[in-house]
């Protein structure tokens, strides 16, 4: 590939001459300038008591009403049930209470709810624990939302006014204190002094990376946002009432009721390129990050989502690049490539100027070129010009590559003018500009008579540029064909072709990383095909790609269990007896509390029960698709005369079949919960209501706080 002159990064685009265009610093994209619709005026109403909003992992919305001492729960816009009751009167789950001394299954009516003492800030961690800043009682309430019960109470000397969490750790703002509190759902609070020069903190916001931002003097003209680790980068936001991060990491600051929300770049403390957010009906009590990545707020009519203010773009704009250096005198520039997103009714056109003199102002010459002399670009149907380049994804998926020869005589220096046009509702967006230096040399292979005159040579150079481009791309693919033979660099579309060299037919249900790993290790896998290490590794490749590193299956051959309580091998086995033993161990077979031995059930021929049979234990829950993929691998690659069973964490521990640590059982998290099907199981036998949670940790749990006996 020929070298390029590039204008690609945000730093390079900031050096060009912008005329009615702007650079989005966060994305590095150039677009037409525009003006958002006007900022809404603040409503002439007093600020309400600060409240809290939070979404739990099940997309339920929790909204505190401090003046009424309650917390509302909503799902899909509909109210759900009663508010929480005070914690000192709530030793049991909220929904039902077991009557003391009554048989299991007899329930008493739930006591009437009592108001909380001014609940303000709310936060919910990744495990579904709700943290409530009960300001009137100077304490933090922690609820387990899955079990609908109180987890613990954390008292403070100062009233807590707001809470924020990164999913695990929680920060608490304390009224009148020069410090914050930091804790987890089960850990003790730790005090963090506020940065020097920071006054009273009313609101908190935290990124998933645990970067904390503070709102000082909320609701007043002196309000400002303070990064906890960079207090010198604080900036003023008059009358700010709350702050929160959106899904893309932009800091959103809410102001008085009726006013728009402002967006800031948390890294630079500067206003973000994105337009303001309209929040009609905002009550001024608080905002929340929604599961969809946007921002929501509370109104008199219920929950609402903020929307971006509409922008009216300029109809025309121009970008003139800085001087691009070809490196040699009389450089014949080649093709020009532009990565751009052109919505309907928008366009980008290009003009170029060259010179061999460094002191000549080509930008001034380009500024005089009228728009009608700018030439239209052609979209490349084959995508980018880079050989084997994967298609753009994510936010760049809408960008396509456009191409045009450079219409300018040879010269060492090049200036490029891009004219953006639109109709006000949308704008073209440009990400990258690339120009080949030098262009092709096909003119040297033609008789000199065709290029003796400068106009003819210039025409032929441009006329042959597409042909040379096709030849160059074919040559580039040929030169880089080695990437097709490496499973980690070959494009995804080439993987089936590469796998066919090794006799593999790829399963499209496998993740892309798993398919690449499978091809990479295929030679070793075929060498050990049908063996225990070979099958375990084959299954582990899929599980690690789908479930994450560390998920390794265990293949247990049944004949290995003969000495662990299994059946002896023989034609006429005798009666095997067992009795229950408590203390050093517990063996299933006998009856606890009854003396003597009884025969073990299910006796048979040990050879028929154990030979040529094995069990695959997967220490993770499996979806129906996962199980189908693993069974397909076992059916194709196991020895044909063997039989197998597939067990996963969904099945739980199977008493009586064998619980051998490291073989058929694994210490770790329990089985994943599955949807309850009416008629498909019985609660109390093979179905449970609730969620899995960690067990008791020795010397780390206290009876009556996070552990209960019974």
The larger pLDDT score, comparing residue 410 to residue 84, is at 410
CA 33 to chain centre: 31
Q: What's the average model confidence in pLDDT over 221-225? A: 93
Q: Phi-psi region for residue 469, left (φ > 0), alpha (ψ -120 to 50) or beta?
A: alpha
Q: How many CB atoms lie within 10 A of CB 500?
A: 11
pLDDT at 132 over 90: yes
pLDDT at 123: 94
pLDDT at 216 over 80: yes
Q: Which residues pair with 370 in a beta bridge?
A: none
Q: What's the average model confidence in pLDDT over 392-416? A: 86
Report percent pLDDT > 90 for the chain.
39
Beta strands 335-341 and 400-405, pairing class: antiparallel
pLDDT at 598 over 90: no
234/654 Cα distance (integer angstroms): 59
pLDDT at 179 over 50: yes
The larger pLDDT score, comparing residue 459 to residue 1, is at 459
User: For residue 453, what pLDDT band results from cuts at 50, 70 and 90?
Assistant: confident
Q: What's the average model confidence in pLDDT over 405-415? A: 89
153/705 Cα distance (integer angstroms): 9
**Closest C-alpha among 208, 137, 199, 132 to residue 172:** 132
Q: What's the average model confidence in pLDDT over 284-297? A: 90
Q: Listing from the earlier edge strand, what are the strands of the sheet with 270-271?
A: 242-245, 251-254, 262-265, 270-271
3-state secondary structure (DSSP) of residue 186:
coil
Phi and psi torsions of 605, nearest 5°:
-70, 125
Rounded to the nearest integer, the mean pLDDT of the chain is 80
Least confident of 62-76, 246-260, 345-359, 658-672: 658-672
Phi and psi torsions of 598, nearest 5°:
-130, 155
pLDDT at 287 over 90: yes
pLDDT at 94 over 70: no
Alpha-carbon Rg for the chain in angstroms: 35
pLDDT at 2 over 80: no
pLDDT at 698: 54
Least confident of 25-29, 362-366, 670-674: 670-674
pLDDT at 92: 33
Measured in residues, the chain has a length of: 710
Q: What is the pTM of this model?
A: 0.68
CA dihedral 445, 446, 449, 452 (to 10 degrees): -50
pLDDT tens for residues 329-381? 988 888 899 999 999 999 999 999 999 988 888 888 888 888 888 889 989 88
pLDDT tens for residues 248-273? 889 999 999 989 999 998 888 888 88
**Closest C-alpha among 231, 234, 180 to residue 203:** 180
590 near 598, Cβ under 8 Å? yes
Least confident of 301-305, 487-491, 585-589, 633-637: 585-589
pLDDT at 98: 27
pLDDT at 227: 93
The larger pLDDT score, comparing residue 89 to residue 500, is at 500
Q: Which segments of 420-494 does DSSP mark as H helices, in order?
A: 454-479
The larger pLDDT score, comparing residue 482 to residue 645, is at 645
DSSP 626-679: HHHHHHHHHHHHS-TT-EEEEEEGGG---TTT---BTTTB--S--PPP-PPPTT
pLDDT at 13 over 90: yes
pLDDT at 444: 74
**Judging by beta carbons within 10 Å of its beta carbon (0-12, 13-18, 19+), is residue 438 exposed, middle or buried?**
middle
pLDDT at 124 over 50: yes
pLDDT tens for residues 538-559? 999 999 998 887 788 888 888 8
């Amino acid at each position: 590939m020929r070298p390029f002159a590039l204008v690609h990064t945000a730093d390079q685009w900031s050096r060009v001459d912008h005329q009615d265009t702007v650079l989005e610093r966060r994305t590095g994209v150039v677009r037409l300038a525009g003006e958002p619709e006007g900022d809404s005026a603040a409503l002439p109403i007093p600020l309400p008591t600060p409240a809290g909003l939070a979404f739990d992992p099940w997309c339920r919305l929790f909204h505190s009403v401090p003046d009424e001492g309650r917390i509302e729960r909503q799902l899909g816009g509909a109210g759900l049930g009663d508010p929480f009751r005070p914690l000192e009167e709530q030793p049991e789950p909220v929904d039902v209470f077991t009557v003391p001394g009554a048989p299991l299954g007899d329930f008493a009516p739930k006591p009437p709810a009592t108001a909380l003492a001014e609940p303000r800030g709310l936060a919910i961690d990744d495990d579904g624990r709700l943290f409530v800043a009960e300001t009137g009682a100077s304490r933090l309430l922690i609820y387990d939302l899955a079990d609908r019960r109180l987890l613990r109470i954390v008292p403070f000397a100062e009233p807590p006014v707001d809470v924020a969490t990164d999913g695990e750790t929680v920060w608490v703002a304390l009224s009148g204190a020069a410090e914050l509190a930091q804790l987890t759902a089960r850990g003790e609070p730790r005090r963090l002094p506020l940065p020097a020069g920071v006054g009273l903190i009313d609101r908190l916001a935290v990124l998933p990376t645990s970067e904390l931002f503070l709102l000082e003097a909320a609701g007043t003209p002196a309000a400002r946002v303070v990064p906890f680790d960079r207090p010198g980068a604080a900036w003023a936001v008059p009358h700010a009432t709350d702050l929160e991060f959106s899904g893309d990491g932009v800091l959103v600051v809410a102001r008085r009721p009726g006013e728009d929300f402002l967006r800031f770049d948390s890294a630079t403390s500067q206003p973000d390129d994105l337009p303001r957010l309209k929040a009609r009906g905002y009550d001024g009590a608080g905002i929340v990050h929604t599961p969809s990545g946007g921002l929501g707020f509370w109104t008199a009519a219920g929950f609402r989502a903020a929307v971006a203010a509409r922008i009216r773009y300029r109809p025309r704009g121009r970008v003139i690049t800085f001087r691009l250096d070809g490196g040699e005198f009389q450089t014949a520039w080649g093709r020009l490539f532009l990565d751009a997103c052109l919505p309907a009714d928008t366009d980008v056109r290009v003009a170029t100027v060259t010179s061999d003199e460094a002191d000549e102002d080509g930008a001034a010459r380009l500024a005089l070129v009228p728009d009608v002399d700018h030439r239209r670009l052609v979209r490349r149907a084959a995508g980018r010009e880079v050989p084997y380049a994967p298609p753009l994804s994510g936010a760049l998926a809408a960008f396509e590559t456009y191409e045009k020869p450079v219409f300018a005589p040879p010269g060492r220096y090049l200036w490029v003018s891009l004219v953006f046009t639109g109709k006000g509702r949308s704008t073209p967006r440009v990400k990258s500009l690339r120009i080949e230096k030098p262009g092709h040399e096909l003119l040297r292979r033609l008789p000199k008579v065709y290029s003796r005159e400068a106009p003819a040579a210039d025409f032929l150079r441009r006329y042959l540029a597409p042909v040379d481009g096709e030849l160059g791309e074919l040559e580039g693919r040929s030169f880089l064909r080695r990437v097709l033979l490496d499973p980690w660099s070959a494009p995804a579309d080439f993987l089936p072709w590469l796998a066919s060299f090794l006799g593999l037919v790829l399963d499209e249900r496998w993740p892309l990383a798993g398919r690449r790993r499978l091809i990479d290790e295929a030679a070793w896998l075929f060498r050990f095909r049908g063996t225990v290490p070979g099958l375990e590794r084959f299954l582990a490749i899929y599980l690690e790609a789908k479930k994450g590193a560390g998920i390794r299956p265990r293949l247990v051959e049944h004949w290995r269990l003969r000495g662990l309580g299994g059946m002896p091998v023989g034609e006429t086995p005798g009666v095997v007896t067992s009795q229950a033993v408590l203390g050093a161990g517990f063996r299933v077979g006998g009856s606890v509390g009854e003396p003597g031995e009884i025969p073990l059930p299910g006796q048979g021929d040990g050879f028929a029960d154990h030979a040529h049979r094995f069990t695959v234990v997967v220490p993770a829950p499996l979806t129906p698709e996962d199980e189908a993929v693993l069974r397909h691998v076992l059916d194709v690659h196991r020895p044909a005369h063997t039989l197998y069973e597939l067990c996963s964490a969904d099945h739980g521990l199977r008493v009586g079949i064998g619980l051998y640590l490291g073989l058929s059982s694994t210490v770790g998290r329990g089985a994943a919960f599955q949807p309850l099907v009416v008629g498909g199981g019985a609660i109390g036998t093979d179905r449970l209501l609730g969620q899995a949670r960690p067990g008791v940790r020795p010397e780390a749990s206290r009876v009556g706080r996070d552990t209960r006996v019974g």
